[in-house]
């Protein structure tokens, strides 16, 4: 399998611009997660979906952030307008329907966002 | 609520020495526990996981971890460090076996000196 695929890998944008991060989960996985990683706060769960439905978005920092999952193979995380403090690595991850083996989450390689 | 504490944000060992990265968890229900590794400029990769089977779990690259319920710990060890082990290591606990939500520790950066 190709794994979780994210794009872009790196993006530099100016403050106020819209940023869209994209993710393709592993085929067959029912759960999709968006995490943010910063030096100050470590790894934070922003939102996760189950069968394309947002389950928990309590980690989304503010209304400037939105996430969608229009189908089982695609999700977006959008920041509008972007601010310098949004600079971080954004990870998408996915996992299978859960069973007794535990819920291994597979991560993409991340999108490195810099807002100047 | 579940939480994870990793003791020591930086650990430095000599090549060939024992690696010990500490993780303590808090969970009101039997937990699933994970160790992930992140190499520079890369995503997170699963090292190993505990899912209530054997308490001693073996992972990739010679790493293993032991689940100790009495100590609420899940420390990661490797008998002999290699230069390629230099990375950041994250311990994580599953909030619930039904949600897939992982709570991560703050991470421990492992430095391996020649």
- Which residues of chain A are at the B interface, by a Cβ-Cβ cutoff of 8 Å? 4, 31, 33, 42-43, 45, 48, 50, 55-56, 91, 93, 95, 98, 100-110, 112
Q: Determine whether the interchain pair A42/B107 forms a contact, defined as Cβ–Cβ distance below 8 Å.
A: yes
| Main-chain phi, psi angles of A115, to 5 degrees | -110, 120
Contact (CB<8Å) A110/B45? no
* Euclidean distance between CA atoms B109 and B52, whole angstroms: 27
Are the C-beta atoms of residues B103 and B31 closer than 8 Å to each other? no
Q: Is the peptide bond before A10 cis (omega within 30 degrees of 0)?
A: no
Residues A8-18, mean pLDDT to the nearest whole number = 97
Q: Does B17 touch chain A (CB under 8 A)?
A: no
Residue A98 makes CB contacts below 8 A (sequence gap 6+) with: A31, B97, B98, B99, B100
Is B36 in contact with A31 (Cβ distance < 8 A)?
no
**Is the four-CA dihedral B1, B4, B5, B9 of positive or negative sign?**
negative
Find, in chain B, the residue whose alpha carbon is nearest to that of A46: B101
Q: Chain B: give the shortest CA distance to residue A14, in Å.
A: 22
**With bands split at pLDDT 50, 70 and 90, how would you rate the model's confidence at A101?**
low
| Chain B CA closest to residue A51 | B99
Strand A111-115 relative to strand A88-95: parallel, antiparallel, unpaired? Answer: antiparallel
Element holding B12 (H helix, E strand): strand B10-14
Mean pLDDT of B42-70: 91
What's the gap in Å between the CA of B104 and the closest CA on chain A?
Answer: 6
Tally of residues, chain B: 114
- For A102, the closest chain B residue by CA position comes to B51
pLDDT at B51: 81
Whether residue B31 is predicted with pLDDT greater than 60 in this model: the reply is: yes
Question: Contacts of residue A98 in chain B, CB cutoff 8 Å?
Answer: 97-100
The neighbour count for residue A104, using CB atoms within 10 Å, is 17
Mean pLDDT within B2-27: 94
Give A43: exposed, middle or buried? Use CB within 10 Å, 0-12, 13-18, 19+.
buried
Closest CA to B25 of B54, B65, B62: B65
Euclidean distance between CA atoms B3 and A113, whole angstroms: 28
Indicate the DSSP class of residue A36: E
A-chain CB neighbours of B98 within 8 Å are 98
CB burial of residue B45 (10 Å; 0-12, 13-18, 19+): middle
> What percent of chain A shows pLDDT beyond 90?
74
Here the tokens at position A113 are: 């966002």
Given pLDDT bands bounded at 50, 70 and 90, which one contains residue A100?
A: very low
Give the mean model confidence (pLDDT) for residues A2-18. 95
Summarize the confidence of residues A82-108 as an average pLDDT.
84
Nearest-Å Rg of the Cα atoms of chain B is 13
pLDDT at B74: 96
């Amino acid at each position: 399998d190709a794994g979780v695929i994210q794009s872009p890998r790196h993006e530099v944008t100016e403050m106020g611009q819209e940023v869209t991060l994209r993710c393709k989960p592993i085929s067959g996985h029912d759960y999709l997660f968006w995490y943010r990683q910063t030096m100050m706060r470590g790894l934070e769960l922003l939102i996760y979906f189950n069968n394309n439905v947002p389950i928990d978005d309590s980690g989304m920092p503010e209304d400037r952030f939105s996430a969608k999952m229009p189908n089982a193979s695609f999700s977006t995380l959008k920041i509008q307008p972007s601010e310098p403090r949004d600079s971080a690595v954004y990870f998408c991850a996915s996992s299978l329907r859960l069973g007794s083996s535990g819920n291994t989450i597979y991560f993409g390689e991340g999108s490195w966002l810099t807002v100047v | 609520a579940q939480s994870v504490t990793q003791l020591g944000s930086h650990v430095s060992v000599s090549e060939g020495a024992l690696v010990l990265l500490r993780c303590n968890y808090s969970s009101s229900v039997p937990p699933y526990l994970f160790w992930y590794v992140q190499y520079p400029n890369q995503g997170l990769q699963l090292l190993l996981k505990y899912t209530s089977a054997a308490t001693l779990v073996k992972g990739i690259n010679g790493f293993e971890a032991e689940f100790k319920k009495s100590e609420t710990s899940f420390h990661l060890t490797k008998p002999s460090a290699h230069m390629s082990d230099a990375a950041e290591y994250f311990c994580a606990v599953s909030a619930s076996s039904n949600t897939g939500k992982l709570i991560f520790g703050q991470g421990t950066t492992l430095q391996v000196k020649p």
